[in-house]
Amino acid sequence: MKEGVIIVNAGGEFIGTMDKMAAHRSGMLHRAFSVFIFNSKGQLLLQQRALDKYHSGGLWTNTCCSHPKLGEVTFDAANRRLQEEMGMACKLTELFQFSYHHQFENGLIENEFDHVFMGISDELPLPNSTEVANFKYIDTDQLMFELIEQPDLYTPWFKICLEQVLETYYQII
């Protein structure tokens, strides 16, 4: 198995493992995480996925996202990938979990049990160019306008969970 993902049931409980690409071809439910970093001005740090990603290349999305490795605590995986993708560290808090299913035009299927984390940092990212094409900080009002005007520029999972992330963020600050 090249790179594996953790297969879970609808409650997020471990069932087994599978090769990442096999899971995305077959649509097996697997564990994932999404990280949202805000700065002290309340702007959200977005990344534009590298153009050659296996799906959603070039689309804008949350600060970072990936899958934990077998035996890795999801919280630790989120911190690891934040460093690997965006070259930054931040104190993270898990906000919620949700499941989503999306089939892409290239035949790959996202069927993920996603753990959503949030942090606040003014550290400037140093993105890994193999993972990230670009990044930007954006005011949430401007982001909501862009999502209405140009929804196809954003990843499916980002559009699904953003509203709940923002509701939680505004309760915390």
Catalytic residues, by residue number, are 65, 112
Q: Return the half-sphere exposure (C-beta side, CA atoms, 13 A cut-off) of residue 142.
A: 9
With b meaning 16 or more CB within 10 Å and e meaning fewer, what string describes 42-60? ebbbbbbbbeeeebbeebb
Residue with tokens 């949350």: 62
CA–CA distance, 47 with 25 (Å, rounded to integer):
25
The answer for residues whose C-beta is within 8 angstroms of residue 137's C-beta and 6 or more apart is: 39, 41, 43, 44, 45, 46
Q: Containing H/E element for 47?
A: strand 44-49
CA–CA distance, 99 with 12 (Å, rounded to integer):
9
CA–CA distance, 3 with 60 (Å, rounded to integer):
24
